[in-house]
């Protein structure tokens, strides 16, 4: 399986004739930190999740922003807002496992991480650096971690933890963060960890991976404890092949619902890709990894902040991220979700990178206004989905749809969602066995 653009005529490659590629990791960027302390995040996490997700764009009601507000008000207003100098962007994308598949089509490959200016604000929790003294160990709270990793990234390794409660076994996904670098202080290191935790631990939605805790293991390594999703990631599902059209559409609708919830909470993910979309035992798609997410609106704000910094995985990055210093991160998520939909349909990418130097993307831009479904979107099915995907992939972000617009689209509304792995139209989500997941990874 390769996730690569179609040929000059836009025809999709045959899934069965492609060799499996490597995966993509992220081009990282430091995002704006939530103005919240670890203590506030923990308090917010104890609050019960809402019965239903708020309407996208709905004001208030956010545990994340409420905690941020309390922390903001507690700070000295005279505190310096000086930010650290942005690091120069580093090009560290790794080469693909195969350079040429079916005439040189690009692969969905795992790429190295880049760091660029992201504008994190000051105000990390002071208690975070001291909490190790009081932390109950990972082993006591969540059980024994397997040595083998179930996931690896540029900044962390994920392992499966087994916790026995009397006769019942509970499983957790434990994300062990990298060690502190020699050139960063303990305060800087802890702030990076708590920033991600403060965001993810306040999000409660069926299509978002639940974050449980932030603890230290016996080796004093910081670990984020999350719900375990036995279905693996969407990348592996695409790679295996065999996803039905109704299954693809159901997954797409769940992804949009998850993104709409994030945006209603004032959070943009900025790294939507198949590897960051997990499947639970019931076929629910869950968004994970908030390492480069950005808080673009606090609860007391009506306007949104533009985001800075190049982040994400190159095939899914929107064109404005390459061209502008600032951009609306919500529209970046919408762009990436549309690319994921294309990947699910054809097991290939629509283009290597959304730059005019890419011939396939250049043809797409030149044909955008002259066709109702410019190549390669002309291959998408059903036909009714093409106008929506075209608007989600508008090269000019000013013409791109927001999630609230997508939710109102007639074709999108008609898509059947499943419950516990089955739907009224009869489609099912196939969850692989543990051995199959290991072979896919």
Distance CA 76, CA 340 (A): 44
Angle between helices 245-264 and 329-346 (to 10 degrees): 170
- The answer to whether the beta carbons of residues 178 and 155 sit under 8 Å apart is yes
User: In the numeric block, which tokens belong to residue 222?
Assistant: 């910081």
List residues forming the annotated binding site: 175
Tell which wins on pLDDT, 4 or 323. 323
- Residue 108, pLDDT score: 54
The pLDDT confidence band at residue 436, using thresholds 50, 70 and 90, is: low
3-state secondary structure of 106: coil
Q: Which pTM was predicted?
A: 0.73
Q: Does 429 score more than 50 pLDDT?
A: yes
Q: Once rounded to an integer, what is the mean pLDDT over residues 247-264?
A: 97
The pLDDT > 90 percentage for the chain reads 52
Q: Does 339 score more than 80 pLDDT?
A: yes
pLDDT per position as a tens digit, 21-35: 445 555 554 444 444
Q: Which of 182-191, 270-279, 330-339 is the least confident region? A: 182-191
- Give the CATH class of 15-27+233-440: mainly alpha
For 363-387, give one letter per residue: b (16+ CB within 10 A) or e.
Answer: bbbeebeeeebbbbbbbbeeeebbe
Q: Once rounded to an integer, what is the mean pLDDT over residues 203-227?
A: 93
Distance CA 156, CA 134 (A): 23
Q: Once rounded to an integer, what is the mean pLDDT over residues 195-214?
A: 95
Calculate the average pLDDT of the chain. 77
Q: Which of 96-105, 253-262, 280-289 is the least confident region? A: 96-105
Q: Once rounded to an integer, what is the mean pLDDT over residues 199-212?
A: 97
pLDDT per position as a tens digit, 121-178: 333 333 333 444 444 678 889 999 998 999 888 788 999 999 988 788 999 999 999 8
- Residue 215, pLDDT score: 92
Active site residue 40: no
Q: Does 245 score more than 70 pLDDT?
A: yes
Q: Once rounded to an integer, what is the mean pLDDT over residues 209-221?
A: 91
Distance CA 439, CA 437 (A): 5
- Residue 26, pLDDT score: 55
- The answer to whether the beta carbons of residues 286 and 236 sit under 8 Å apart is no
Tell which wins on pLDDT, 57 or 159. 159
List residues forming the annotated binding site for ATP: 175
Distance CA 48, CA 330 (A): 26
Domain locations in the chain as residue ranges: 15-27+233-440
User: In the numeric block, which tokens belong to residue 155?
Assistant: 């900044």
Distances (CA, A) of 326 to 8, 32, 101, 392: 33, 12, 35, 19
Of the listed 213, 217, 233, 271, which one is catalytic?
271
């Amino acid at each position: 399986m390769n996730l690569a653009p179609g040929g000059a005529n836009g025809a999709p490659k045959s899934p069965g004739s492609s060799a499996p590629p490597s995966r993509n990791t992220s081009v990282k960027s430091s995002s704006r930190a939530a103005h919240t302390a670890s203590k506030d995040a923990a308090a917010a996490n104890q609050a019960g999740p809402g019965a239903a997700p708020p309407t996208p764009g709905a004001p208030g009601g956010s545990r994340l922003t409420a905690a941020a507000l309390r922390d903001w008000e507690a700070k000295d207003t005279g505190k310096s807002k000086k930010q650290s100098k942005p690091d120069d962007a580093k090009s560290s994308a790794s080469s693909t496992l195969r350079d040429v598949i079916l005439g040189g089509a690009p692969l969905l490959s795992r790429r190295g991480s880049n760091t660029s200016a992201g504008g994190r604000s000051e105000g990390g929790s002071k208690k975070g650096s001291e909490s190790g003294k009081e932390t109950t160990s990972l082993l006591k709270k969540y059980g024994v971690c397997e040595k083998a990793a179930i996931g690896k990234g540029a900044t962390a390794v994920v392992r499966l933890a087994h916790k026995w409660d009397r006769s019942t076994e509970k499983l957790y996904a434990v994300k062990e963060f990298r060690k502190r670098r020699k050139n960063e202080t303990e305060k800087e290191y802890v702030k990076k960890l708590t920033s991600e935790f403060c965001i993810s631990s306040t999000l409660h939605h069926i299509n978002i991976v639940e974050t449980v805790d932030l603890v230290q293991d016996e080796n004093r390594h910081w670990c984020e404890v999350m719900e375990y999703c036995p279905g693996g990631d969407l990348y592996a599902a695409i790679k295996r092949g065999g996803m039905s059209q109704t299954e693809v559409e159901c997954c797409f609708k769940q992804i949009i619902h998850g993104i709409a919830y994030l945006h209603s909470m004032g959070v943009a993910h900025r790294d939507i890709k198949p590897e960051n979309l997990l499947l639970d035992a019931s076929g629910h798609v869950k968004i994970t990894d908030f390492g480069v997410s950005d808080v673009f609106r606090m609860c007391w704000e009506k306007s949104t902040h533009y985001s800075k910094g190049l982040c994400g995985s190159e095939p899914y990055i929107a064109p404005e991220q390459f061209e502008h210093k600032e951009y609306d991160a919500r529209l970046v998520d919408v762009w990436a979700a549309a690319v994921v939909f294309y990947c699910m349909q054809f097991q290939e990418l629509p283009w290597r990178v959304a730059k005019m130097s890419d011939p396939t993307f250049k043809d797409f831009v030149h044909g955008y206004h002259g066709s109702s479904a410019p190549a390669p979107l002309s291959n998408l099915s059903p036909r009714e989905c093409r106008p929506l995907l075209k608007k989600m992939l508008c090269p000019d972000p000013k013409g791109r749809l927001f999630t609230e617009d997508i939710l109102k689209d007639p074709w999108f509304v008609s898509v059947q969602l499943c419950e516990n792995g089955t739907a009224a139209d009869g489609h099912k989500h196939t969850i692989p066995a543990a051995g199959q997941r290991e072979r896919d990874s």
